[in-house]
A and B are shown apart, each in its own frame.
Chain A
């Protein structure tokens, strides 16, 4: 199986490579359109800030390529948010528009709700083969200050304090807000499920 990880300088991909290695899966880090098109699965991790990520995607023509991919595709963290239409981050940035959500910032923090939303939170309303074998209320690791609201594309929710999209799906495009590669055995299972799709 050929697994490609989209290389757009989108933060720490080493942890994703190691997580795949622990599953016995080799992956290629690439921005090559042909390699991405041919791959059996495409992973799209990301950390950091949306505007500079979009700038890099545009510079490499990936903003046009990625929406045309047809194989199972998994966005992770910022890689999920970038699939939306628009984000408030950095004064407002247009994104890939593969899914019909707009990313917004968590409301003003109080002592009980610090920003970023950082740590282990439980998943609710799971509805996807991505979560096969998980128990309701299993915990995964989040680090983010912006979120996608709940919509008909939502396949898992978490609450901070109001529900938001912990995972989304449209056609072959799956994406998770949390870090599968840092979420212990639960995250490993989700990655395994994705590889089996």
Chain B
């Protein structure tokens, strides 16, 4: 039986992990390769690296990091964060990334999804959508690290991304992100029902039960979180044991 996936997300700046990772026994918490290997050993199903570097060395440092991660890691990983050029996607995939996630660049020019899917296969192309809830307009998609409202309805955009050849949707609720009050079950469920491709839920995870809820109620295919894993609040193994007790298929 296909299992639900648990995906830790690592924020990367200039080739280093950021967001104050606190891990016992990890000598250099800023070393993304060591952290990635630790998550893999603990049972993470996949990893996402979100690069927030904004310098012109971005591409070179990111490609070098991808190569090091791929050398060490024996589980799949996705790289995202300000990626748009076909040449950048190619460099990341050729150096060992399994998937690349695109966000603002896809909203600026949706044909990019078709082009990347045709060239590299849908399985390598994740479309990341950052959505925020507005009482008047519902769930709207934001770009440029959540600073710009595109005015696009989140379900419509995810459906278009899937139609254009995305292999997976990474849906982040900005309204829930950082709250630890749980995933946004309504929009995650709406997107999951609307698209025929897998959906990764992100934003708001604070407890093990939050993952149970997003899998059972919103039919997410995977759950992504950052801080609860980095700060050791929830261990990946104990999370998966909890999910198994709740009847959710997981790899243990």
Q: Which residues on A are within 8 Å of B, measured CB to CB?
A: 11-12, 14-15, 18-19, 21-22, 47-49, 108-109, 111-112, 114-122, 139, 141-145, 159-160, 179, 181-185, 187-188
Minimum CB–CB distance from A146 to chain B (whole Å) comes to 11
Question: Chain A contacts of B93 at CB under 8 A?
Answer: 11-12
Contacts known (A121-B2, A184-B40); A116 close to B197, Cβ less than 8 A: yes
Asked whether, in the complex, the Cβ of A18 is within 8 Å of the Cβ of B71, the reply is yes
Question: Chain B contacts of A22 at CB under 8 A?
Answer: 71, 74
Contact of A119 among B45, B121, B122 (CB under 8 A): B45
Query: Chain A residue with minimal CB distance to B97?
Result: A12
Within 8 A of A (CB), among B32-56: 40, 45
In order of increasing CB-CB distance, the 3 nearest A-B pairs are A48-B121, A109-B196, A139-B251
Asked whether, in the complex, the Cβ of B123 is within 8 Å of the Cβ of A184, the reply is no
Minimum CB–CB distance from B131 to chain A (whole Å) comes to 19
Question: Chain A contacts of B198 at CB under 8 A?
Answer: 114, 116, 118-119
Cβ contacts B45-72/A at 8 Å (1 or 0 each):
1000000000000000000000100110
Minimum CB–CB distance from B43 to chain A (whole Å) comes to 9
B153 interfacial by beta-carbon distance below 8 Å: no
Asked whether, in the complex, the Cβ of B222 is within 8 Å of the Cβ of A143, the reply is no
**Bound complex: CA of A160 vs CA of B222, how far in Å?**
17
Asked whether, in the complex, the Cβ of A15 is within 8 Å of the Cβ of B45, the reply is no
Cβ contacts B70-81/A at 8 Å (1 or 0 each):
110011100000
Question: Chain B contacts of A141 at CB under 8 A?
Answer: 75-76
Query: Chain B residue with minimal CB distance to A109?
Result: B196
Contact of B3 among A120, A181, A187 (CB under 8 A): A120
Select the residue from B74, B76, B123, B222 with max chain A CB neighbours within 10 A: B74
Question: Chain B contacts of A142 at CB under 8 A?
Answer: 2
Minimum CB–CB distance from B172 to chain A (whole Å) comes to 19
Query: Chain B residue with minimal CB distance to A49?
Result: B121
Q: How many residue-residue contacts, CB under 8 A, span A and B?
A: 100
Minimum CB–CB distance from B161 to chain A (whole Å) comes to 14
Question: Chain A contacts of B219 at CB under 8 A?
Answer: 111-112
Asked whether, in the complex, the Cβ of B167 is within 8 Å of the Cβ of A122, the reply is no
Asked whether, in the complex, the Cβ of B74 is within 8 Å of the Cβ of A187, the reply is yes
Query: Chain A residue with minimal CB distance to B193?
Result: A111
17 extra A-B contacts, CB within 8 A, seeds A12-B98, A115-B197, A118-B198: A12-B93, A48-B121, A111-B193, A114-B198, A118-B167, A120-B5, A121-B1, A121-B3, A139-B3, A141-B75, A159-B1, A182-B74, A182-B75, A182-B76, A183-B74, A184-B75, A188-B74
Query: Chain B residue with minimal CB distance to A139?
Result: B251
**Bound complex: CA of A111 vs CA of B198, how far in Å?**
9
Contacts known (A121-B3, A144-B123, A184-B40); A12 close to B96, Cβ less than 8 A: yes
Query: Chain B residue with minimal CB distance to A144?
Result: B123
Asked whether, in the complex, the Cβ of A120 is within 8 Å of the Cβ of B70, the reply is no
Cβ contacts B166-199/A at 8 Å (1 or 0 each):
0110000000000000000000000011011111
Minimum CB–CB distance from A180 to chain B (whole Å) comes to 9
Query: Chain B residue with minimal CB distance to A118?
Result: B198
Minimum CB–CB distance from A184 to chain B (whole Å) comes to 5
Asked whether, in the complex, the Cβ of A15 is within 8 Å of the Cβ of B221, the reply is no
**Bound complex: CA of A144 vs CA of B197, how far in Å?**
12
Question: Chain B contacts of A188 at CB under 8 A?
Answer: 74
Asked whether, in the complex, the Cβ of A18 is within 8 Å of the Cβ of B96, the reply is yes
Contact of A118 among B71, B120, B168 (CB under 8 A): B168
Question: Chain A contacts of B221 at CB under 8 A?
Answer: 114, 118-119
Question: Chain B contacts of A12 at CB under 8 A?
Answer: 93-94, 96, 98, 124
